[in-house]
Amino acid sequence: MPRSNRPRRRPAAAPRSDRDAADARDGRDDFNPERVLAGFARLESAPDGDWRVRQVTTRSAAKVYTCPGCSRTIPPGTAHLVVWADDHLFGEEAGIAERRHWHTHCWRTRTYRYR
């Protein structure tokens, strides 16, 4: 059987060192603080009530939405906010069902007349 002079390649899933193996087990190989915090809704209190606000990153913004603050569209690939009422009259599920996608600037500069 003839020998091959090509170098052997490692499988794609095989770690390159013991440190890489430990990082892969811990899940630290692609740590991104923005990505971690984007999944959580923070609570904001305003004169018009309590709101849950979740940031949508450019990577996860895949659809076209209409901002209730300026009535303009939010195109795919644009970072924005998802907002819903935390103290909805009919409970948490009703608040989530009525969530709206806002431009970040529109949410910060709103006039509290949208409720």
The pLDDT score that the predictor gives to residue 96 is 80
Tens digit of each residue's pLDDT (9 = 90 or more) over 79-105? 999 999 888 778 777 878 888 999 999
| Contact (CB, 8 A) for 74 and 68 | no
Q: Which carries the bigger pLDDT value, residue 25 or residue 62?
A: 62
Extract the tokens encoding 53: 């606000």
Domains of the chain by residue range: 18-108
Long-range own/partner contacts, residues 68-76 (CB < 8 A, 24 or more apart):
68/100, 68/102, 68/106, 68/114, 69/102, 69/103, 69/106, 69/107, 69/109, 69/110, 69/114, 70/103, 70/106, 72/103, 74/101, 74/103
Overall size of the chain counted in residues: 115
pLDDT over 90 (residue 7): no
The pLDDT score that the predictor gives to residue 47 is 86
Tens digit of each residue's pLDDT (9 = 90 or more) over 28-83? 545 555 555 556 888 998 888 888 999 999 988 889 999 999 999 999 999 999 99
The answer to which of 7-11, 66-70, 109-113 has the lowest mean pLDDT is: 7-11
